[in-house]
Amino acid sequence: MPVTVRQAGREDLPAIIAIEEASFSVPWSHQSLAAELDNPVAKYYVLEGETGQVLGYADVWLIADEGQLANIAIHPSARGHGYGETLLRTAMEALFQDGCTSMFLEVRQSNAPAQGLYRKLGYEGVAVRKDYYSQPVEDACIMQCQKENYQWFSHSR
């Protein structure tokens, strides 16, 4: 199914909030999700399906030459079709173009789908933050992808 990735706008907030709340036990507040639209260091993207419905979003920050994946989620009914990968590649490649040399993120130790995505794109675990998450309490794995380790998309795969 053809999909489009574009910059998020205020009109996307209801869909972003619904996906956030369907995806996380401790979702970001509506205010925090909205504030990212005005965050000067953020790039906020949505992925929309054929009929224009928002299926997911990604929010990345660039501070000096360091990138951070702040948030990413795909609607539960749309997972496993390559959309998360498409979104994250778009966001990371935009930051690399803007001078990012290294990306960081935090992920729950038990979140195998997300870690699978991150490793596929070139991230590796660099540290553990003990009891970082609540509901349930769980360690965070800090992952890093240096620009030279990024796995560019290859049609031959």
Ligand X SMILES: CC(C)(COP(=O)(O)OP(=O)(O)OC[C@H]1O[C@@H](n2cnc3c(N)ncnc32)[C@H](O)[C@@H]1OP(=O)(O)O)[C@@H](O)C(=O)NCCC(=O)NCCS
The reply on whether position 117 binds ligand X by CB under 6 A is yes
* Residue 97 or 154 with smaller CB distance to ligand X: 154
Residue 66 a catalytic site member: no
Contacts of 101 by beta carbon, 8 Å cutoff, 6+ apart? 65, 66, 146, 147
For ligand X, the binding residue among 34, 37, 111, 132 (CB under 6 A) is 111
From the list 66, 85, 93, 106, the catalytic residue is 106
85 binding ligand X? (CB under 6 A): yes
Written as six digits, the tokens of 109 are: 């130790």
Q: Which of 15, 16, 72, 103 binds ligand X (CB under 6 A)?
A: 72
> Binding to ligand X by residue 129, rule CB under 6 A?
no
Taking residues 24 to 63 in sequence order and writing x for each that binds ligand X by CB under 6 A, - otherwise, the string is ----------------------------------------
Active site residue 106: yes
Residues that bind ligand X (rule: CB under 6 A) add up to a total of 19
Measured CA to CA, the distance from residue 44 to residue 130 in angstroms comes to 28
Does 70 sit near ligand X (CB under 6 A)? no
Kindly list the catalytic residues: 106, 118
